[in-house]
Copies of this chain bind each other. A is one copy, B any other.
Amino acid sequence: MTFSLPTHVTQVISPEGKLVSDPPELPPEQLVEFYRWMVLGRVFSNRMVALQRQGRMGTFAPLNGQEAASVGLAAPMMDDDWLVGSYREAISFFMRGIPITAIMEQWAGYIPISYSPATNVMPIQVVLASQMPHAVGMAMAMQYKKKASAVVAVIGDGATSEGDFNESLNFAGAFKAPLVTVVQNNGWAISVPREKQTAAEYIAHRGPAFGMPGYVVDGNDVFAVFKTMETCLERARAGEGPSLIEVITYRMGAHTTADDPTKYRPPEELAEWEKKDPITRYRIYLRTLGLLNEEKEAGIEEEVRQELQIAVERYESERPAQRAEKYFDLVYNDTPPQLARQRDELLQFLNRER
């Protein structure tokens, strides 16, 4: 079967907040919930950057601008599904049940004590595209176990140039694995713009090339992402095979707190994308529906800030306790004798020094 190359960008809510095609059928609370997740994401991201500046956090990759995509991709997932992502989808992780502290721990270079695989989320992956074969393998495992569930893999535009991305799409196609791959095309891979990353007009063209449908979606439009995800997840759960979705969005901040985008990116571009802000757009739409107003919005923001404050406090109160002691138990399930000796020697030394 040959799938055709996608030619247009799916959109439901325009940048002006107007419907341009049918919205998904969702209860009003869930529509507001989406908004709350987006706000949480942005507040979280800004707070992380601030913590990093204050020396209270490691290098962090802000997610500003990509909130709609992260919400839209996670929202239609079911409990048995798994999320296998990279490092800029904290909101999707939160929506799956990963606590905020777990993400803080990982960026801080800290044992992820509050992470749990029972959330059906793999830890953040910082090596580009490395999560892709994991996602495929997990989808194959679901298939083997005859589960009607799916894996959602998330990856950046730049990372699609890695061998692992392509090997994985090919595996997924060949095994008809229940995998939905979302490319968060935010226009940049650090300083490398999307046009230099690949000569194809759309990354989603890789879909048909590997025997699966490809979709291009407005990534700043939570409904467009949600609807396309629903289609693809259904396809996957029904045993019809994998899909590839490219969501077109924009990284509004720096690549990470260690990056200075003014070195390589024209300020006009950011200005252009600010007009397409996913949160503003969705807020206007929800106001039209009467689901939001200034007061409700302020309430949500306050609620979200408090949630974050609690997370920061928990993260910081538990942090100082982690020293070399904890290291040795994590290498193997059973510590081999030489490692035990190395542990004893090191701890003895450190205890003497402390």
Binding site for B on A (CB under 8 A): 1-2, 4-5, 7, 161-167, 170-171, 173-174, 176, 196-202, 205-206, 208-212, 241
Contact = CB atoms under 8 A, between A and B. Distances in A.
Nearest first, the 4 A-B pairs at minimum CB distance are A163-B163, A199-B211, A173-B199, A166-B166
A92 to B, nearest CB: 26
**Residue of A2, A212, A241 ringed by the most chain B CB atoms within 10 A:** A2
A174 B199 contact: yes
A196 B209 contact: no
A5 B199 contact: no
Nearest to A199: B211
A212 B200 CA distance: 8
A206 B199 CA distance: 12
Given A173-B198, A174-B197, A210-B199, A205 B167 contact: no
13 contacts: A2-B5, A2-B202, A5-B208, A162-B163, A163-B166, A165-B166, A166-B166, A173-B199, A174-B196, A174-B199, A176-B199, A198-B210, A209-B210
A237 to B, nearest CB: 18
B163 A167 contact: yes
A312 to B, nearest CB: 40
Contacts of A176: 199
A199 B241 contact: yes
Contacts of A2: 5, 7, 200-202, 205
A174 B200 CA distance: 8
Contacts of A4: 5
A208 B201 CA distance: 9
A7 B4 CA distance: 11
Contacts of A206: 209
Nearest to A1: B201
Contact of A205 (B162, B165, B202, B208): B208
